[in-house]
Structure 1
């Protein structure tokens, strides 16, 4: 996971790896994970370890407003980071089975030791491997695919290519949704948007995140998404009551991103 946040002073030990190092730091009750850079890879409020601390991670869960429950039955996460999305789904969506693909085995160790990642293989399975290779090799279908993978320099690499997005589409169920965290930085993310649109025949929508430098993309395969904004607000209120997740600010950004004259969210 990557948010454009300068990490606080390192308070916990640095974990050395052959080609990289993981820093864990704490400030004001929040524990941060980053790869020796100014790009935070994940965060956890120590008193609320299953909550989504970084705003963009909350927005990545907005798919809960776009499909009716029970959904998702199967979720696939590309990129583990501090395990925020995996922990939220595990705690708040107890019928969802979760697969996480993480390329760096040290990240899983850190998530378990310092970020309270649950140890429950029947429900939460961590696969150590390349996310793009896993997507191409696996024949399994998922209701929700969440992509949030970056290297130490905040580059997505092969996870931001047309073949990868096409592979994601092929792995989605009839009610499947893809959500991607796009990190714009200097060159923006329009090229990424074009690749997602090409892979999903235009059935995608991207809106700026409340985190500076991030944007969130949603794309649909199979059944169409067609939800009025009044219904989105109602679902957001229900979601907040049931899970504590407040998606009302996300709806406001979805309204800005909608096509002119459209009072519904369609992809």
Structure 2
């Protein structure tokens, strides 16, 4: 009898263990190891070959419209702050998920995707249905260099999304006051910045202090489901409660095909006005003081 129960326990262990994902693409680019894994209906882009625990982008093969990551859904809280964006800039492509959804929502909008790694752009095209048109483009360039040149050309963007990761964290030079000043210079008067970052990082306070130093009060968009947060910054004045309600009603049917519950997301929005959760003497990150490699974990 003891052997029988031991056998049952062993079988249960094997049957409950997660299935191994298949690697359908693997390469070493100029910047990183790139893996595309498929586990059943889920296909993911990963940059960390050693642990393979974190994904940069994922899609459901049978339901490519439906968003997988919570942070991508939170990014669309931006649409409660602005109406009908026509010039969109995304720094950090991943699989192109954000670009695709924005294009489908606003087909007349110009969307510029900036990605430092040409291999990532190719993988997005080949494995993640990344849409490119005359309106939707992908440019190989460091995000900060792109912003500097855009400022010289006096470009203006309604919606700037910061979503660049190197596999561990946000690149240091895209976390500083100087960079945010440059971002601010290309933001349209009624535009908004949405930055994907973390609420559990040791850099939380420094990032918050840096955004506040450049943009003043901003909005944190969070959820209890994971440790991501979206920072919404750069807006002149927040919309009224009535405007938020009207936008929720308008956006709900548009966003539901992507599995985005905009009403629930709105409940996770909190302004730093009267809710500053970092010490007043927190050091601002600058080009001379940006110790992301020391503080991010």
Q: 1:148/1:33 Cα in 2 relative to 1: closer, same or farther (>3 Å)? A: same
Specify the alignment match of 2:217 in structure 1. 203
Partners of 2:125 and 2:218 in 1: CA distance = 34
Of 87-96 and 104-113, the range deviating more from structure 2 = 87-96
Q: 1:108/1:178 Cα in 2 relative to 1: closer, same or farther (>3 Å)? A: same
Specify the alignment match of 2:140 in structure 1. 128
Q: Residue 130 of structure 2: which of 80, 93, 117 is its match?
A: 117
Q: Residue 86 of structure 2: which of 50, 73, 78 is its match?
A: 73
Q: Residue 55 of structure 2: which of 11, 36, 40 is its match?
A: 40
Contact kept, 8 Å, 1:144 with 1:172, in 2: the verdict is: yes
TM-score by structure 1 length?
0.85
Q: Residue 239 of structure 2: which of 199, 215, 226 is its match?
A: 226
1:181 maps onto 2:193 in alignment:
no
String of CA shifts for 1:43-95, please: whole Å, max 9, x gaps. 11212323322111111111111123xx2010000000011100001111112
Name stretches of at least 5 consecutive residues in structure 1 with no aligned partner: 1-6, 262-267
CA deviation after TM superposition for structure 1 residue 260, in Å: 5.8
1:216 maps onto 2:230 in alignment:
yes
Aligned length: 249
Contact kept, 8 Å, 1:146 with 1:178, in 2: the verdict is: yes
Name stretches of at least 5 consecutive residues in structure 2 with no aligned partner: 1-18, 276-297
Larger-gyration structure (1/2): 2
String of CA shifts for 1:124-180, please: whole Å, max 9, x gaps. 011100001111111310000000101022233211111111111110111110010
TM-score by structure 2 length?
0.77
Contact kept, 8 Å, 1:25 with 1:31, in 2: the verdict is: yes
Partners of 1:44 and 1:133 in 2: CA distance = 30
Q: 1:103/1:38 Cα in 2 relative to 1: closer, same or farther (>3 Å)? A: same
CA deviation after TM superposition for structure 1 residue 224, in Å: 2.2
1:147 maps onto 2:165 in alignment:
no
Specify the alignment match of 2:11 in structure 1. none
Q: 1:186/1:172 Cα in 2 relative to 1: closer, same or farther (>3 Å)? A: closer
The 4+ residue runs of structure 1 with deviation greater than 6 A are: none
CA deviation after TM superposition for structure 1 residue 27, in Å: 2.5
String of CA shifts for 1:179-238, please: whole Å, max 9, x gaps. 1011355414111111111111x13122334552211101124x422221x542442232
Partners of 1:166 and 1:236 in 2: CA distance = 31
Partners of 2:264 and 2:95 in 1: CA distance = 24
Partners of 1:241 and 1:168 in 2: CA distance = 32
Q: Residue 170 of structure 1: which of 185, 188, 192 is its match?
A: 185
Of 230-239 and 168-177, the range deviating more from structure 2 = 230-239
Alignment of 1:153-164 (within 5 A): 153-164=168-179
Contact kept, 8 Å, 1:182 with 1:215, in 2: the verdict is: yes
Contact kept, 8 Å, 1:66 with 1:227, in 2: the verdict is: no
Partners of 1:18 and 1:103 in 2: CA distance = 10
Q: 1:158/1:124 Cα in 2 relative to 1: closer, same or farther (>3 Å)? A: same
Q: Residue 117 of structure 2: which of 84, 87, 104 is its match?
A: 104
